[in-house]
Amino acid sequence: MILRLAIASLLARALTVGMTVLAIALSVALFLGVEKVRTGAKASFANTISGTDLIVGARSGSVQLLLYSVFRIGNATNNITWDSYQDIAAQPQVDWIVPISLGDSHRQFRVMGTSPEFFARYKYRQGRSLAMTDGVVMADLFDAVIGADVATTLGYSVGDPIVVAHGLASFTEHKDQPFRISGILEKTGTPVDRTVIVSLEAIEAIHVDWQSGAQIPGQSTPVDVIRQMDLEPKAVTAALIGVKSPLQTFALQRAINEYPEEPLLAVLPGVALQELWAIVGVAETALLGVSAMVVVTALIGMMATIFSSLNERRREMAIFRAMGARPLIIVGLLVLEAMLTAAIGAVLGLSLLYLALFIAQPIVDSAFGLWLPIEAPSLRKLWVLVGVIAAGAIVSFVPALRAYRISLADGMLVRT
Amino acid sequence: MRTTAPILDLTNVRFRWPGQASFGLSVPSFQIARGETVLLLGESGSGKSTLLSLICGTIRPDTGTVVVGETDLSNLTASGRDRFRGDHIGVIFQQFNLLPFGTVADNILLPLRFAPKRRARAKDPLKTAAELCSTLRLPASLLSAKAATLSVGQQQRVAVARALIGQPPIVIADEPTSSLDADSQAAFLDLLFKQVTKNGSSLLMVSHDHRLGDWFDRVVRMDDIATIERHAS
């Protein structure tokens, strides 16, 4: 009966209570939404590269190696010589090895030279393979495959010619050897979307007339001559390695790290990703903190609403007292009302989140490559809801305490 | 119905509002017999509200005893007095007696929620409430109506039903007719007295209207039983 009266009392003040519920619902939806994006981003981030056991590069830091080899951020301090590469490839533990050669760009996008095996070996989002929206993997020396973002940003389609620039942010272009787009990759939500992929030989080919980072003046080898040349690279930037058995990963890693001919570094992508996340994850945590503050603000708004309603509810309290209710019952009633308000707000907030997810999921996936799975609320989410209701009860204690005092002073007669 | 032991007995009661040194009430002796109906006349500021609060046990006298039935309220804790009030006293206010968002039935049954003995006396509460409504000429359909939709006269009659449910031995009414017009007043008092008599309850009604005196067994003036202490501060 008390619960029914509490609900009836809330319904009688539907407008103000509705506003409070809405504020709580929006704040809860925001908090859960940020949490959802955060975990989604973290999963997406961790899923940038999968299926690769080791990444090898010149000796530097593991995060730096990950940044330039996978995220195409920053530059390699040094290269791996082709001899070392061949040596590592010949190790018995190695199942497959894919070379990566970086350093050139097309407009704002990086160009990566690699072997055709890259398309079979590179996996993301728990083992998904790269797929073509249009065209095929490069067959000719001067063929290029472009990522989805490159295609949409620059408006390219299969068959278009592109010219690769030397270095990054450079005005010197490899004009003599234009490429032709042979294929466009599907959106992956990984840095591959922002990459122009060519063959390792092509990287050599466009540098035939170059020495020490500059074109030899007046020299321009005709394309058909280049095609006859031996285009074996002298060095690569990094390599992705798959081992035959996961147990051999650490042995191979140690062997590479202690490689006597050249200072090299091999890292486990998962470990390096976690190190990197520890750095960028701070911003996400800050965002979560801010949205938690929004929830607190909404609850304090509820507290203010209860406070302002106390005076007009003195008669109601006096009636309860006259009927034999202890002042504690008045406190309980107010706390119960606050908990109901917070509970309705929390559940409505959860529903808002799912509604938003249903609408935004495909948009977010195609625009940011961020996959936000729609799944039953996790235990963690339910705890958040319980926490909101509990916090609602706690903040309502402040006005409830005031109601207790009023009720004790008024008794059953409202003294004005 | 009357027995010798009074239902209400105040002896040497003195009370001073905490923090208000300027106002104090003292009642040397005041009794109401079982089944007796008493009209207490007094102007506003005569200490009526304080006296009612003392009888109902929301405040406690500084000295003296307030005995309701066989129970000395001073011996009870604050929550004990609250429960005692719920069990033994039916209360009718001047106006705004009802929780506007509750149904009529909710309002009538409300005291039973806090008073287990009274609930036991009411037996089948909903049936009892319906019977009370019909004797108070409230249509049965009104039971499920929201209290806020009722007329003032109807609301006061619902308040009577609430005060009488579970047969509390004493009913206290604080100017229950002041919000009614003359015709409604008479009809209201007629119903109230019939029910109080039928219940065998005592009635203490506070009013400033001496014309109501004819309805009651006894008329008492506030000045006769109580003295107000005022100190110029």
Q: Do the domain assignments include residue A208?
A: yes
Selecting from B53, B100, B109 the residue whose C-beta is nearest the C-beta of A413 gives B53
Tokens standing for residue B176: 């229950």
How does pLDDT run across A180-204, given as a tens digit for each residue?
Answer: 999 999 988 888 998 999 999 888 8
- The pLDDT of residue A82 is 93
Give the A-side interface with B, CB within 8 Å: 1-2, 4-5, 8-9, 11-12, 315-316, 318-326, 328-329, 411-413, 415
> Based on the structure, what is the number of domains in chain A?
2
Statement: residue B22 has pLDDT above 70: no
Measured between CA atoms, how close is B88 to chain A, in angstroms?
A: 9
pLDDT digits (tens, 9 = 90+) for A200-219: 988 888 887 776 666 777 67
For chain B, what's the residue count?
Answer: 233
Whether residues A243 and A288 share a domain: the answer is no
The answer to whether the Cα torsion of A125, A126, A132, A133 is positive or negative is negative
Q: At what angle do helices A327-368 and A2-12 cross, to 10 degrees?
A: 60
**Averaged over A130-145, what is the pLDDT?**
89
- Whether residue B6 contacts residue B31, with contact meaning beta carbons closer than 8 Å, is answered with yes
Confidence of residue A2 (pLDDT cuts 50, 70, 90): confident
Q: How far from chain centre, in Å, is Cα A259?
A: 35
Give the nearest partner residue to A5 out of B82, B106, B148, using CB atoms: B106
A315 contacts in chain B (CB < 8 Å): 96
Q: What is the pLDDT of residue B1?
A: 46
Contact between A172 and A179 under an 8 Å Cβ cutoff? The reply is: no
> What angle, rounded to 10 degrees, do the helices at B78-88 and B104-114 form?
130
Distance between CA atoms of residues B81 and B99, nearest Å: 22
pLDDT, one tens digit per residue, over A217-253 is 767 777 777 777 778 888 999 999 999 998 889 999 9
Q: Which of A10, A412, A414, A415 should one mutate to test binding to chain B, selecting the residue with the greatest count of B CBs within 10 A?
A: A412
Say yes or no to pLDDT of A317 above 70: yes
Residue A60 pLDDT exceeds 70: yes
Q: Which residue has 């005893």 as its token pair?
A: B65
pLDDT, mean over chain A: 87
Nearest one of B183, B162, B34 to A324, comparing CA atoms: B162
* Chain B residue at shortest CA distance from A10: B101
For CA atoms A244, A247, A252, A253, give the dihedral sign.
positive
Supply the pLDDT for residue A76.
Answer: 84
User: What would the two tokens of residue A410 be?
Assistant: 């008024």
**Looking at the domain assignment, is residue A396 inside a domain?**
yes
CA–CA separation, A304 and A302 (whole Å):
5
Contacts A11 to B, Cβ<8 Å: 101
Containing structural domain, residue A297 = 2-45+281-410
Across A72-76, A165-169, A394-398, least confident range: A165-169
Do residues A298 and A383 share a domain? yes
Instruction: Indicate the pLDDT class of residue B153, thresholds 50, 70 and 90.
Output: confident
Output the pLDDT for position A415: 58
Between strands A123-124 and A128-129, the pairing is antiparallel
DSSP state of A4: H
With CA atoms as reference, report the closest residue to B61 among B122, B7, B96, B15: B15
Minimal CA separation from A308 to chain B, in Å: 19
Query: Any idea of the CA torsion for A170, A175, A180, A183, to the nearest 10 degrees?
Result: -10
| A183 Cβ contact list (under 8 Å, min separation 6) | A132, A134, A135, A136, A137, A138, A145, A146, A158
Q: DSSP labels for A8-41? A: HHHHHTHHHHHHHHHHHHHHHHHHHHHHHHHHHH
B contact set with A (CB within 8 A): 49, 52-53, 56, 58-59, 78-79, 82-87, 91, 93, 96-102, 106, 109-111, 113-115, 148, 162, 174
Residue A340: both structure tokens together:
């109901």
Shortest distance between the Cα of A378 and any Cα of chain B, in A, equals 38
With CB atoms and an 8 Å threshold, state whether B98 touches A326: no
Integer CA distances (angstroms), A182 to A123, A149, A150, A280, in order: 21, 16, 13, 35
Domain for residue A276, yes or no?
no
Confidence of residue A86 (pLDDT cuts 50, 70, 90): very high
Taking Cα atoms as reference points, which of A195, A105, A197 lies closest to residue A149?
A: A195
Q: Which residue has the tokens 């008794």?
A: A411
B11 and B29 in contact (C-beta within 8 Å)? Answer: yes
Burial label, B78 (beta-carbon count in 10 A; 0-12, 13-18, 19+): middle
Q: Where are the domains of chain B?
A: 6-230
A30 and A82 co-located in one domain: no
Whether the Cβ atoms of residue A2 and residue B113 lie closer than 8 Å to each other: yes
pLDDT in the model for residue A171: 60
Does CATH number 3.40.50.300 belong to domain B6-230? yes
Residue B200: pLDDT over 80: yes
A239, A267, A295 — which closes off a domain?
Answer: A267
| pLDDT confidence band for A297 (50 / 70 / 90) | very high
Same domain (yes/no): A130, A83: yes
Could you tell me if A51 and A129 are in contact, meaning their C-beta atoms sit under 8 angstroms apart? no
Cα-flanking dihedrals φ and ψ of residue B193, to 5°? Answer: -65, -40
- The backbone torsions φ and ψ at residue B227, rounded to the nearest 5 degrees and listed phi first, read -120, 140
B84, B110, B155, B174: which to substitute to probe chain A, counting the most A Cβ within 10 Å? B110
In contact, A170 and A83? CB cutoff 8 Å: no
> What percentage of chain B carries pLDDT values higher than 70?
96
Q: How far apart are CA A288 and CA A282, in angstroms?
A: 10
Which residues in A lie closer than 8 A to residue B97 (C-beta atoms)?
Answer: 319
Q: Is the pLDDT of residue B178 over 50?
A: yes
A48 to chain B, closest Cα gap in Å: 58
Sign of the C-alpha dihedral computed for residues A4, A5, A6 and A12 taken in this order:
positive
Q: What is the DSSP letter of B146?
A: B
The domain boundary residue, chosen from A237, A267, A297 = A267
Question: What's residue A223's pLDDT?
Answer: 76
Would the CB atoms of B56 and A412 count as touching at under 8 Å?
A: yes
3-state secondary structure of A122: coil
Q: Please tell me which of the candidates B93, B114, B162 has its beta carbon nearest to residue A325.
A: B114
pLDDT digits (tens, 9 = 90+) for A330-364: 899 999 999 999 999 999 999 999 999 999 888 88
pLDDT per residue as tens digits for the range B65-91: 999 988 899 899 988 999 999 999 999
Q: What is the mean pLDDT of residues A269-278?
A: 87
Q: What's chain A's Rg over C-alpha atoms?
A: 32
- Mention every residue, 6+ apart, whose C-beta is less than 8 A from residue A356: A29, A33
pLDDT-based confidence at residue B21 (cuts at 50, 70, 90) = low
In angstroms, the CA A348 to CA A28 distance is 9
Measured in angstroms, the CA of A14 and the nearest CA of chain B are apart by 11
Task: Based on the fold, state whether residues A108 and A170 are members of the same structural domain.
Answer: yes
Q: How far apart are CA B110 and CA B31, in angstroms?
A: 29
Q: Quick one: which of A36, A45, A44 has its CA closest to A272?
A: A45
Do both A113 and A217 map to the same domain? Answer: yes
The packing angle between helices B182-199 and B152-164, to 10°, is 10
Contacting residues of B for A325, CB less than 8 Å apart: 82, 86, 113-114
Mean pLDDT of A76-90: 91
Sign of the C-alpha dihedral computed for residues B90, B95, B101 and B105 taken in this order: positive
Q: Which residue of B has its CA nearest to A322?
A: B91
Q: Which runs of consecutive H residues, i.e. helices, occur in A197-268? A: 200-206, 223-228, 249-257
> Is B2's pLDDT higher than 50?
no
Can you tell me whether residue A354 is helix, strand or coil? helix
Helix, strand, coil fractions of chain A, as percent rounded to 5: 55, 15, 30
- Per-residue confidence (pLDDT) for residue A349, from 0 to 100: 95
Alpha-helical (H) ranges within A144-196 are 148-154
Q: Model confidence over A94-108: pLDDT tens digits?
A: 999 999 999 888 888
Task: Report if residue A239 sits inside a domain.
Answer: yes
User: What's the pLDDT band for B20 if we cut at 50, 70, 90?
Assistant: low
Contact B93 A1 (CB under 8 A): no
Report residue A113's pLDDT band, with 50, 70 and 90 as the boundaries.
very high
Q: What residues form DSSP beta bridges with A55? A: A240, A267
**Residue A341 falls inside a structural domain:** yes
Which of chain B's residues have a Cβ under 8 Å away from the Cβ of A321? 58, 82
Query: Is A319 in Cβ contact with B98 (below 8 Å)?
Result: yes
- Does residue A416 surpass a pLDDT of 60? no
For residue B105, give how far its alpha carbon lies from the nearest alpha carbon of chain A (Å): 11
Q: Is the pLDDT of residue B164 over 60?
A: yes
Please check whether residues A39 and A62 belong to one and the same domain: no
Question: Which two structure tokens, joined as six digits, stand for B60?
Answer: 């406690």
CB pair distance less than 8 Å for B102 and A5: yes
What does the DSSP 8-state code read for residue A211?
E
Decide if B99 and A2 are in contact by the 8 Å CB cutoff. no
What average pLDDT does range B22-34 have in this prediction?
87
Identify the closest residue of chain A to B95 by CA–CA distance.
A315
Instruction: Determine contact, residues B158/B107, Cβ cutoff 8 Å.
Output: yes
- As a whole number of angstroms, the distance between CA B30 and CA B8 comes to 8
| Statement to judge: residues A110 and A238 lie in one domain | yes
Q: How far is Cα B47 from Cα A329, in angstroms, rounded to an integer?
A: 28
Mean pLDDT of A376-405: 91
How many CB atoms lie under 10 A from the CB of residue A326? 22
Helix H or strand E encompassing A132: strand A132-135
Domain boundary among A232, A267, A302: A267
> How many residues are given for chain A?
416
If asked whether residues A229 and A333 sit together in one domain, one would say: no
Which residues neighbour B33 within 8 Å (Cβ) at sequence distance 6 or greater? B2, B3, B6, B7, B202
Check whether residue A154 and residue A256 sit in a common domain.
Answer: yes
pLDDT at res. A386: 94
Confidence of residue A84 (pLDDT cuts 50, 70, 90): very high
- Please report which confidence band the pLDDT of residue B3 belongs to, taking 50, 70 and 90 as the band edges: low
Q: Are residues A68 and A34 in the same domain?
A: no
Residue A128 has a pLDDT of 85
